[in-house]
Amino acid sequence: MRHSRESVIVRRPVQVELIPHGTVHELPSGTIAEITQALGSNFTLHVEGQLVRLKGADADAIGKPVPAPAPAVDPGGEPADLSTQVREVLKTCYDPEIPVDIVELGLIYGCDITPAGDGRSNVAIQLTLTAPGCGMGDALGNEVAEKVLALDGVQEVTVDLVFDPPWDRSRMSEAALLSLGL
């Protein structure tokens, strides 16, 4: 299945991360790019034969609105408990090369929530990558930490990159496999 790509022009100099290396690069104003993925709160762009990741906070640089986070609610419309909120916010984090969120990809190996006092909690997340050599680990880990820390009731977040056991396709949900045609 072929996905349509939207062409955009970079309106101001902006920093992006090269995929899969994760190194920071600046795109100058006037650069022509194609949006290949606009999921979660970031954009994956194709620029001169290279994929790059643009943070959602810089969406204005390509003429797009900054993506707003969706509040986590339970099926009855009430605010969800913290565990559900964390899971839902993790579902807004996407591998920049694969159009599936990190929960459905099976990249979350663990999530521990412990009380920290004053009704707040500390959250420790174990995250893996589809390939150990992928340079996007820090960028993805930072995105996870920022989004979880923004939740009410969270005092501190730690994200540990783990590679044992190694990730493989068997960790993907059925929905992820279906969406990728596997």
Contacts of 49 (CB under 8 A, 6+ apart): none
Using CA atoms, how far apart are residues 173 and 103, in angstroms rounded to an integer?
Answer: 8
pLDDT score for 22 = 83
pTM: 0.77
Give the residue from 116, 117, 108 showing the smallest Cα distance to 88: 108
Q: Average pLDDT for residues 72-82, to the nearest whole number?
A: 64
Give the residue from 42, 148, 144 showing the smallest Cα distance to 102: 144
Our CA angle for 24, 30, 31, nearest 5°, is: 45
Using CA atoms, how far apart are residues 103 and 82, in angstroms rounded to an integer?
Answer: 16
Phi-psi region of 153 (alpha: psi -120 to 50; beta: other; left: phi over 0): left
Which CATH superfamily groups domain 6-62? SH3 Domains (2.30.30.40)
pLDDT score for 181 = 83
6-62 against 82-179: fold identical: no
Using CA atoms, how far apart are residues 150 and 72, in angstroms rounded to an integer?
Answer: 12
Looking at 15-19, 30-34, 97-101, 109-113, which range is the least confident one?
Answer: 97-101
Listing from the earlier edge strand, what are the strands of the sheet with 120-127?
A: 108-117, 120-127, 154-161
pLDDT band at 56, cuts 50/70/90? confident
Residue 1 in this model has a pLDDT that exceeds 50: no
- Residue range 82-179, CATH number: 3.30.300.130
Residue 73 in this model has a pLDDT that exceeds 70: no
Q: Domain limits of the chain? A: 6-62, 82-179
pLDDT score for 29 = 96
Residue 147, burial from CB neighbour count under 10 angstroms (0-12, 13-18, 19+): buried
166-175 pLDDT, tens digit per residue, is 999 999 999 8
111-127 pLDDT, tens digit per residue, is 999 999 788 999 999 99
89-145 pLDDT, tens digit per residue, is 999 998 888 889 999 999 999 999 999 978 899 999 999 999 888 888 888 998 999
